Amino acid sequence: MAETTTGPTKGTLLLQGGGLPNLEFQNLFKTLAGGRDARLVMIPTALEDEKLGHLVSPITNGLLFGFPAAILHTRSGAVADSDAFVERIQDATGVFIEGGRQPRLAKAYLNTNTHQELKRLLARGGVIAGGSAGATIQGSFIVRNQGPPNYDREVMVDPRFTTEGFAFIKNVVIDQHVTQYGRQNHLAAVLKSQPDLLGIGIDEDTAIVVRGDVFGVIGSGSVYVWNSARGPLRPLLTKGDRYNMRARKRL
C-alpha cells in the first residue's frame, strides 16, 4: 500500500525556494511566530564553516530579518542531543533554518533531541521556516544540491549522506532554486526510484505555507508538484494557489 503524504497536525511550515526571503515571507514568519511576542531562533548549520562567521555576527548581535533572535549551531550530534543545547527551542515560537547543504543539517540534528524539540515546537502551534536547504530538510527524503556550474546535471542521491529528512511533511521530497538553476526535470529521477513520494519544487522568491495537509503559495515564482515521474502538475502553482498533499489535488 502506498504511503500517504501528510503535513504537521499542528503548527505551520514556511518553506522558501532559495534566495533572500522577501518582505512578505519575513513578515509572515514573524506574524506566525507571535508578532511582538515572537521568540525566534535561527539555525545556520547548513552553511559551510567559512560563511558562518559572516552570517552569525549580525545574528549574534540580535537580529534575524530585523527581528530579535537567538542562534543555534553545532556540527556535533552529541551536542545537538544535549539538554542544554535545546533550551532555546523549548522557549521558541519560531525557528528559521538557513540554506546551504541539507546533509549538514541531517548529520548534525537528525534523530537527536534537537529534532524532537523542533517537532514539539510545531505541536504547540509554532512555525518552522526554511530557505533552500532549510526547506528541503523538512521533507522526509533529501537529495544532493546541484547549483551552478552543475545545474544541468541530474539531481542524484548523495551516497555519502543519509537520504532521510526531518519529515515534518511525511512522504515528500522538496527541491529548490528550480527555474533559476534549470532544475525543472530534476525530480523525475527521484520519483522514478521513489514512486510513492510527492515531489515539490519551489522557485526562488517563492514559498509554500503548510498547515496540515494543505499548502498555499506566496511569492513571485512557481511551485512544481510531481505526483509521478511523468512530470509536474500543469499549469504550475503560483501565488494564491492551494494544494492538498494528502488528496494530491489542486484546490
Q: What is the pLDDT of residues 161-216, one digit of tens each?
A: 558 999 999 999 999 999 988 888 888 888 888 899 999 999 999 999 999 999 99
Q: How many residues make up the chain in this entry?
A: 251
Strand order of the β-sheet with 40-43 is 69-71, 40-43, 94-97, 127-131, 12-16, 206-211, 214-219, 242-244, 249-250
pLDDT category of residue 151 using cuts at 50, 70 and 90: very low
Residue 48: what pLDDT? 84
Query: 158-167 burial, b if ≥16 CB within 10 A, otherwise e?
Result: eeebebebbb
Per-range mean pLDDT, top range of 61-70, 97-106, 123-132, 143-152:
123-132
Instruction: Assess whether pLDDT exceeds 70 at residue 57.
Output: no
Question: Residue 185 has what pLDDT?
Answer: 85
pLDDT reported for residue 58: 43
Cβ–Cβ < 8 Å for 133, 105: yes
Largest Cα separation within the chain, whole Å, is 51
Whether the bond between 149 and the residue before it is cis, its omega within 30 degrees of 0, is yes
pLDDT at 182: 85
Q: What band does 60 get if pLDDT is binned at 50, 70 and 90?
A: very low
Eight-class DSSP state of 74 = -
Query: H helices within the chain, ranges in order?
Result: 23-32, 49-60, 77-80, 87-91, 102-109, 113-123, 133-136, 187-193
Q: So what's the pLDDT on residue 64?
A: 80
Q: Name which residue leads in pLDDT, 43 or 156.
A: 43
User: Residue 24 has what pLDDT?
Assistant: 95
The pLDDT, as a whole number, for residue 42 is 92
The angle at the Cα of 245, spanning 239 to 247, to the nearest 5 degrees, equals: 120
* 7 vs 103, higher pLDDT: 7
Average pLDDT over every residue of 207-227: 97
Which amino acid appears at position 20 of this protein? L
* pLDDT for residue 144 is more than 80: no
Question: Three cell numbers at 218?
Answer: 506566496
Structural domains present in the chain:
12-250 (3.40.50.880)
What is the pTM (predicted TM-score) of this model? 0.91
What 3-state DSSP class applies to 34?
A: coil
- Model confidence pLDDT, tens digit, residues 69-87: 888 999 999 999 999 999 9
Query: What is the overall mean pLDDT for the chain?
Result: 88
CB 147 within 8 A of CB 126: no
